[in-house]
Structure 1
Amino acid sequence: MDSYIRRLQKSMDFIQKKVNTEMLELLPADITPPQIMMLYQLYKLGLCKLSQLADRLQVKPSSITVMIDRLEKAGFVERLADPNDRRIVLVQLTDKGLDIIHQTVELREKVMTPLFSDLPEDQLIALVETFEKITKKYEDEL
Structure 2
Amino acid sequence: MNQTNIFKLIQAIEQMNNDNIMRFTKAFSYPIGISPILVLSELRTKGPQKQVELAETVGYTKGAMTNIANKLVNLELAERLYDENDRRTIKLKITAAGEQALTEAQNIGKDVFTQLFEVLNEEEINQYLRIQEKLVKRIQDRRNQN
TM over 0.5: yes
Cα distance in structure 2, aligned partners of 1:46 and 1:4: 43
Letter in 1 for 2:101: I
**How many equivalent pairs are there?**
142
Cα distance in structure 2, aligned partners of 1:21 and 1:128: 24
CA deviation after TM superposition for structure 1 residue 23, in Å: 0.8
Aligned match of 1:70 = 71
Aligned match of 2:18 = 17
What secondary structure does 1:87 align onto? Answer: coil
Residue 28 to residue 133, structure 1, CA distance change in 2 (3 Å): same
Any stretches of 5+ residues in structure 1 without a counterpart?
Answer: none
Cα distance in structure 2, aligned partners of 1:71 and 1:30: 10
Cα distance in structure 1, aligned partners of 2:104 and 2:16: 21
Cα distance in structure 2, aligned partners of 1:89 and 1:11: 42
Cα distance in structure 2, aligned partners of 1:5 and 1:43: 37
Cα distance in structure 1, aligned partners of 2:50 and 2:115: 38
Aligned match of 1:136 = 137
Letter in 2 for 1:70: K
Letter in 2 for 1:33: I
- Per mean C-alpha deviation after superposition, the further-off stretch among 34-43 and 100-109 is 34-43
Residues 63-117 of structure 1: CA distance to partner in whole angstroms, max 9, x if unpaired?
Answer: 3223212211211011113477553211121111111111111111111212111
Cα distance in structure 2, aligned partners of 1:62 and 1:13: 26
Aligned match of 1:30 = 31
Cα distance in structure 2, aligned partners of 1:97 and 1:32: 13
Structure 1 vs Structure 2 CA RMSD: 2.3
Cα distance in structure 1, aligned partners of 2:139 and 2:97: 31
Letter in 1 for 2:11: K
Residue 44 to residue 126, structure 1, CA distance change in 2 (3 Å): farther
Aligned match of 1:123 = 124
Letter in 2 for 1:64: M
Any stretches of 5+ residues in structure 2 without a counterpart?
Answer: none
Structure 1 segment 54-93 matched on structure 2, within 5 A: 54-82=55-83, 86-93=87-94
Cα distance in structure 2, aligned partners of 1:5 and 1:13: 12
Cα distance in structure 2, aligned partners of 1:125 and 1:85: 52
- The 8 Å contact of residues 78 and 98 in structure 2, kept in 1 or not, is answered as yes
Runs of 4+ in 1 over 4 A off after TM superposition: 82-86
